Structure 1
Amino acid sequence: MSKIIDTKDWCIKDTNSIISFETTSGGGWEKWDRYISIEGKKAFHIGNICGTCSFFFERLGGANGSNQGISPKEISEEFRKGITNLEDVFLSKVSLILPSGDYKVLLNEVIPEFIELGTEKDYFSNEQVQVWGMNSFWGLPHYPKVKYYRGITKELSNNSKLFEFIVPTFPVGWLEEETIEMYKSLISKEVKPTALCLSVLDIKEPADYEEETKHIQHWCLTHYIIDGHHKVFSAATQNQPITLLSFLATKEGIADRNDLSSLLDNLKTV
């Protein structure tokens, strides 16, 4: 389950954020691989610019030092209680810790489902293999190096499907049990705390595929958790909703503005 509560266009300029989007060259292209970096170190490989290549994300070494939330204290309490709408003053405070750029800001409610890699719920071992097959070099499914969560999966048309991912910066084993229990208690009282995410939409479709293959076009909406790991895990263990404040970067994914508008329309009708 995932549904939009509120949306807003937002621009962040001249921040001193420790988080950044980066690209590197490859295959004859000046910009090929895309990354999210923290303090100048690559934390996630978030795919390439190829629209026919398979979607992927992969946790990198730059995420190892990021085992604490990075939200300013003045907004942490509001995240703990859960926000219910998008106010400019609050978004301005949040913007201080995010990279410069243009965004679609989404406040959406989601029930996260924790995914064990290699199981029947793992996108990379199932839905992706059905369309792109195994990794051509290794002969194996993609391995993202971190367990993740899934949100909504929704058919958009006979040929396209939406997949929502919520990706932690650090693994579950680093979470503090006392904080987990605190959020479980809040969530059991129908409080919906808010996690902060930096998000990207990639639309991927293979150049070659079997004629009978269904849903060849994958709309992959990925939320990288900036702050709120304990909240997301606690909600997943109780199968209860929380909210995500997602800054969806409009120029960092494999999608244009029309695609982003279509995405929002589809999420509003869930």
Structure 2
Amino acid sequence: MIKTGEPRSLGIPASEARLTFDTELQELGGGPRRRLLMVDDEPAFELSFYCGTCPLLFRRLETSREKLSLESMQERLTGTLDDPDDGGVIDAFGTLLPKGEYLPLLLEVEPRLVIPGREGDYFSGEQVTTWGIDQFWGLPEYPHTPYYRTFETAVDADTHLYEFVVPMVPPTWNERERVEEYAALMEQGTVPTAVAISTLDVCQPAIDRGDDYFAHWGLTHFLIDGHHKLEAAATAGRPVRLLSLLTLGESLAGTEETSRLPALRTQSRTGRQVGR
């Protein structure tokens, strides 16, 4: 944690915002309605169900094809941001977001790229330990995207916080030259800044099917700006700063949980041990 701001109102009317949250319309006889992150009125990601007992989820959908960035902020974000309000960055990116209350968090992260189903994958690791595998498919949840893991820590004896950075499009879509440029800057000591809209989802299974029953807090950062920076940092083993605009109204967490987040994010990084 570098710095946290006070909760503030940001955004424009949802009908004009490029990034919004929505709930899928219920079809007659259909299953539970999906909670969605929308980009340009197209469903980009399916998110954790509202019930709070289903597993944590961010699942990329077929219509997630767009990166979001602001050309006017590129030069400012190539350097190191020391304050969430530095250079009007928050207000500038607020023009992409739906009107609501947001908590600004400025973090320094060392991202590790994870491929679903491989070593370090949360969905086939820690999540299965708590929920077990999906009872219908007989498989773990699958996010349909590579993603970055950055931080995790204990909330208390029965609760653990997991942090993820999720690109809007896979790193394989990034321009190689730009990734290499950022990697070179990082080798020279520059710590560039990425920007994300974030959710905090609190999930705990209703039935104990796994080997270790406890609650998961998922802090998920959906990249608005910084796809090349995150890949460069993961490749070079270097830190990058992340300006997180945490939506308070669209997270599956209450005021008590979100108010604890800044302090939790300053704790030491600790993994969860099964049965603890």
Same fold (TM over 0.5): yes
CA distance in 1, matches of 2:5, 2:238: 22
CA distance in 1, matches of 2:181, 2:213: 41
- AA aligned to 1:24 is E
Q: Do residues 47 (structure 1) and 48 (structure 2) align?
A: yes
More strand by share: 1
CA distance in 2, matches of 1:107, 1:32: 33
CA apart distance, 1:17 = 2.2
Query: How many residues of Structure 1 are paired with residues of Structure 2 in the alignment?
Result: 263
Please say if residues 165 and 223 of structure 2, whose CA atoms lie closer than 8 Å, have aligned partners that are also in contact: yes
Match of 1:115 in 2: 114
Deviating 4+ runs (over 3 angstroms): 25-29, 212-215
Please say if residues 35 and 44 of structure 1, whose CA atoms lie closer than 8 Å, have aligned partners that are also in contact: yes
Task: Say if 1:137 and 1:158 are closer, same or farther in 2 by CA, change over 3 A.
Answer: same
Instruction: Please list every run of 5 or more consecutive structure 2 residues that lacks an aligned counterpart in the other structure.
Output: 269-276
Match of 2:199 in 1: 200
CA distance in 2, matches of 1:52, 1:25: 21
Please say if residues 46 and 57 of structure 1, whose CA atoms lie closer than 8 Å, have aligned partners that are also in contact: yes
Please say if residues 149 and 167 of structure 1, whose CA atoms lie closer than 8 Å, have aligned partners that are also in contact: yes
CA displacement, residues 193-251 of structure 1 (integer Å, 9 cap, x when unaligned): 111101000111111216x9446100100000111100001001111110111110001
Aligned-partner SS, 2:36:
strand
CA distance in 2, matches of 1:49, 1:209: 19
CA distance in 2, matches of 1:23, 1:255: 17
CA displacement, residues 36-56 of structure 1 (integer Å, 9 cap, x when unaligned): 111110011112101111111
Match of 2:24 in 1: 24
Please say if residues 203 and 217 of structure 1, whose CA atoms lie closer than 8 Å, have aligned partners that are also in contact: yes
Please say if residues 8 and 101 of structure 2, whose CA atoms lie closer than 8 Å, have aligned partners that are also in contact: yes
Q: Do residues 132 (structure 1) and 131 (structure 2) align?
A: yes
CA apart distance, 1:32 = 4.2
Aligned-partner SS, 1:161:
strand
Instruction: Please list every run of 5 or more consecutive structure 1 residues that lacks an aligned counterpart in the other structure.
Output: none
Match of 1:76 in 2: 74
CA displacement, residues 100-131 of structure 1 (integer Å, 9 cap, x when unaligned): 21100111100011002112300000100011
CA distance in 2, matches of 1:9, 1:188: 35
Match of 1:10 in 2: 8
Matches within 5 A, 1:218-237: 218-237=216-235
CA distance in 2, matches of 1:160, 1:183: 36
Please say if residues 161 and 215 of structure 1, whose CA atoms lie closer than 8 Å, have aligned partners that are also in contact: no
| TM-score, normalised relative to structure 1 | 0.91
